[in-house]
Amino acid sequence: MIHKNKRRQVDFQVIAQWVSEGDSVLDLGCGRGVLLEYLKQKKSVYGVGVDINFERILSCVKRGVPAYHGDVRSLLATFGDNAFDRVIFSRSVELLDDPDAILAEGLRVGKRVTVGFVNHGFWLNRLNFLVKGQRTINEVYPRPWYETLRANPFSVAEFDEFCAARQIKIENRAYLSGDWSGECKILPNLFAGYAIYDLSK
């Protein structure tokens, strides 16, 4: 098993369902290359990653995953239209400067785009703000706000509104429960801890 974390297993399994055998995949904000390694083994993809953290790029290289070190937006501009079968943003959209423009570039470069994000409309996040006036500290966000990168948290409902406003087609979507261990089947904006979308132009 490549990764032991149950959360990432479910996340990766959903993403892999939407990837075809041998697809070319660009993973933006690829981290240490674990997702691309998984897709290479499961779907024999040709995968390339991009990350701004050089140490993570070195981890990609050790895994045998090709990766570019640099800014996502700058590197996207170097690729032609439909250069990849799929572009993936896995837990990276909320960390982007100008996510609107970068998602548009992802849809230009990729025939399909996968976006995975933590749902900040999840009921426990709301409860923490209501009762404590503080954001949730957990395994996903283990550090206080002052030790983290800047982020633009958003909810399932807000992402749906964004797709509608930009006329982005939602081909598939999946919602995971609060602990990410299985599917969330009701009221995802309230009860889903994580959301994964399959998008096209």
pLDDT digits (tens, 9 = 90+) for 23-82: 999 999 999 999 999 999 999 999 999 999 999 999 999 999 999 999 999 999 999 999
Euclidean distance between CA atoms 142 and 93, whole angstroms: 19
d(CA 37, CA 8): 13
* Per-residue pLDDT reduced to its tens digit, 94-116: 989 899 999 999 999 999 999 99
The pLDDT, as a whole number, for residue 1 is 37
In the predicted model, what is the mean pLDDT of the chain? 89
Task: Categorize the per-residue pLDDT at 124 as very low, low, confident or very high, splitting at 50, 70 and 90.
Answer: confident
Identify whether 71 is part of a domain.
yes
Model confidence band, residue 2 (pLDDT cutoffs 50, 70, 90): very low
Range of the domain at 51: 6-200
- pTM across the whole model: 0.87
Pairing of strands 169-176, 46-51: unpaired
The answer to the question of residue 48 being in a domain is: yes
CATH number of the domain that residue 123 is part of: 3.40.50.150
- The identity of residue 32, as a single letter, is R
Work out the angle at residue 15's Cα, subtended by the Cα atoms of residues 67 and 192, and round it to the nearest 5 degrees.
120
Task: Compute the distance between CA of residue 82 and CA of residue 80 in angstroms, rounded to an integer.
Answer: 6
Our count of domains for the chain comes to 1
Residue 187 lies in a domain: yes
